[in-house]
Structure 1
Amino acid sequence: MATGDRRVVIIGYDQAELLDIACPSDVLDAANRLGVTPRYEIRLASMGGRAVRCASGLTLAAQVKLEQVAGPVDTMIVAGGWTYLEQAEDQRFLDQVRRVARMSRRVASVCVGSTLLAAAGLLDGRRATTHWFYADKMAEHYPAVTVDPAPLFIKDGSVYTSAGVTSGLDLTLALVEEDHGAVLARAVARNLVTYLQRPGNQAQVSVYVAAPPPEHAVVRELVNLIEADLAADLRTSTLACRAGLSTRHLARLFEQQLGSTPSRYVRGARTRAAARLLESTRLPLTGVAARCGFSSTETLRQAFLDHFQTSPSVYRMVHRRRAAAG
């Protein structure tokens, strides 16, 4: 390793998802091939330096024992895998994840690797994402983490989590852009013949792979009501009255079915709808706010800051630039 290289440690284990390892490593390797300075020094680590037998049946040779990783580390990335629940109960493994995280400039995960970060206590008090299919389970087991199953990836401070499998590519392109700028990140994307970096706040699920609607008929009906008219009176008391339930009972149903309070669900639905309008129309912010049920542009701005960590105007500007670049 040359002096000043960015050390990247990807953590694998038995039955890890191959793409969770390959997407980050190949993005960083493509950046190296384009001549970035400093370069990325990429190493696959495992407990005891054991070979990583991936879920696909292919086996990868680990280059370093996780227990022997020494700092400083630029980026630690934890892969997802079919045995993630077993890993989440392995205290020796979690101790090493915590140790390496302490010496890392930033920490990231792909897919259900976020559950391992949560098990290590690295996501407490943070907003994080994971594969949409496993989001409810993660939220249930780690209540100190705000789990948002919608975005492709989320940055909360120096901790980054991404959704299922190939979203690791989008996350790593974002890391490259953060390190070396948007021009280089777009060059890497072209080199990999992939989309010129989907924004992290883009929904990870389409209508074809979306999670099923709530099983409970009342919650399903209310969700349809909310989505149909976001500008309506959607206070929890109003929704409870429509359903013929107490507000406490309604809150329990929403937590059980959606992992969210009614008010938080409504706010998220309004924010996502506002994002779509900002992407696809030239409506002024006042019009976007009104159409999506926000009482003012300030409440819209605050919702965007909480949900996307950026303002509506910046979101619109960045989306237009990316669309133009594409």
Structure 2
Amino acid sequence: MEAAFHYRGCSRSSEVRVITPAKVSGGRKRRIGILLFDGVKMLDFVGPAEVFLEANQRIDSYELVMMSYDGADVTTSLGVRVGVNSSAADGGVFDTIIIPGSERAAAVFTPDVLEAARLLTERTRRITSICSGAFALASLGLLDGRKATTHWKFAGTLAARFPAIDVNPDSIFVRDGRISTSAGVAAGIDLALALVEEDHGAAIARSVAQLLLVYMQRSGGQSQFSASLRAAPPRTPAAIAVAEYVNTDPTRPCTVTDLAAHANVSTRHLNRIIREELGMTPLEYVNSMRLDLATGHLESGASVAQAAEYAGYSTPVAFRRAFVARLGITPSDYQRRFQTTRQAS
């Protein structure tokens, strides 16, 4: 509902007073505040919390404080009740505030929860969100004019409801000044590791990643996991004709003139409708379908050279270049990470 997306008690144009905690020294710890609420996704806050707790095994630097808007226990998306340390109003001053998300996107951010988020974000040095927690920051106007991200399945909604935000749907996390936003679930771990590295250096962050058996920094973006970040389905007869022609055999050589002739339209008209409906040029669409075909061969166990040949690439180098441009990861790395979940014996 609309009321669930917008916080009515905070003017976007109002000046926000920020309290900056002193740097950690003389045994003082950085206080990490996590705002919980009914319907919160457990992995969104447990993952980052474990990063900071593991960091304490190397350097006792962080104090975790769980809060709800009124200090009452919350019920997570799993139905598990979680106790908190205090209400948001009584939480005090923080080094970092984390706003996790929920499967129900912004529906959980009631006026009470948004008021708690407002109080907390005014009393912290760093502000972070996990997954749909970005909707809370957006509702408070904190992301206006900034780059931000969220889980790919919510990115379109975030961009549509808050056009002042530069939404980057493919990013694992985005840092813009003192505000950081991340994609869902495991991306919160990536962001937390980046914050630990900022605080204590790469060696500490790397040791935490090793203890948690995760990558220090993942390659690629959310498009590794999301088919929805690719082209939208065609709507008009000409675009459908081109899509069917390309999908039938993406490997065949074709020019814009060939595609326009098949759709019985001019090249100029074809360029316009394909851009409008698919968000790319006709040749970019051909290359996209060719890349999808090659990726399918990779997932079926073909070598990089075989996948390139089967999909119509002139050379494996051309395939690798196109693959890295889209996914930010090499075909070989993709195959190793996504082909199977079986452990080597």
Q: Please state which band the TM-score falls in when normalised by the shorter chain.
A: 0.5 to 0.7
Per the TM alignment, residue 18 of structure 1 is displaced from its structure 2 partner at its CA by 0.4
Match runs of 1:1-326 below 5 Å: 4-36=28-60, 39-71=61-93, 73-88=94-109, 90-198=110-218, 202-206=220-224, 209-211=226-228, 213-217=231-235, 218=239, 242=267, 244=269, 253=277
Superposed CA deviations along residues 197-245 of structure 1, whole A, max 9, x for unmatched, are 326xx212326x4226412253995xx99xx9xxx99xxxxxx974616
TM-score, normalization: structure 1?
0.66
User: Aligned partner of 1:205: which letter?
Assistant: S
Change (3 A) 1:244 1:171: same
Range with greater deviation from structure 2 (93-102 or 125-134): 93-102
User: In structure 2, how many angstroms separate the alpha carbons of the residues matched to 1:92 and 1:13?
Assistant: 10
Per the TM alignment, residue 34 of structure 1 is displaced from its structure 2 partner at its CA by 1.2
User: In structure 1, how many angstroms separate the alpha carbons of the residues matched to 2:53 and 2:161?
Assistant: 35
Per the TM alignment, residue 189 of structure 1 is displaced from its structure 2 partner at its CA by 0.6
Say whether the 8 Å CA contact 2:232–2:277 is kept in structure 1.
Answer: no
TM-score, normalization: structure 2?
0.63
Larger Rg belongs to: 2
What is the root-mean-square deviation of aligned Cα atoms in Å? 3.9
User: In structure 1, how many angstroms separate the alpha carbons of the residues matched to 2:267 and 2:172?
Assistant: 34
User: Aligned partner of 1:25: which letter?
Assistant: A
Q: Unaligned regions of 5+ residues in structure 2, if any?
A: 1-23, 257-264, 292-317, 323-345
User: Aligned partner of 1:175: which letter?
Assistant: L
Superposed CA deviations along residues 160-200 of structure 1, whole A, max 9, x for unmatched, are 1111111100110010011111111000011112123326x
Partner of 2:5: none
Per the TM alignment, residue 110 of structure 1 is displaced from its structure 2 partner at its CA by 0.7
User: In structure 1, how many angstroms separate the alpha carbons of the residues matched to 2:200 and 2:115?
Assistant: 32
Q: Secondary structure at the match of 1:244?
A: helix
User: In structure 1, how many angstroms separate the alpha carbons of the residues matched to 2:105 and 2:84?
Assistant: 18
User: In structure 1, how many angstroms separate the alpha carbons of the residues matched to 2:280 and 2:231?
Assistant: 15
User: In structure 2, how many angstroms separate the alpha carbons of the residues matched to 1:150 and 1:243?
Assistant: 30
Q: Secondary structure at the match of 1:117?
A: helix
User: In structure 2, how many angstroms separate the alpha carbons of the residues matched to 1:41 and 1:135?
Assistant: 32
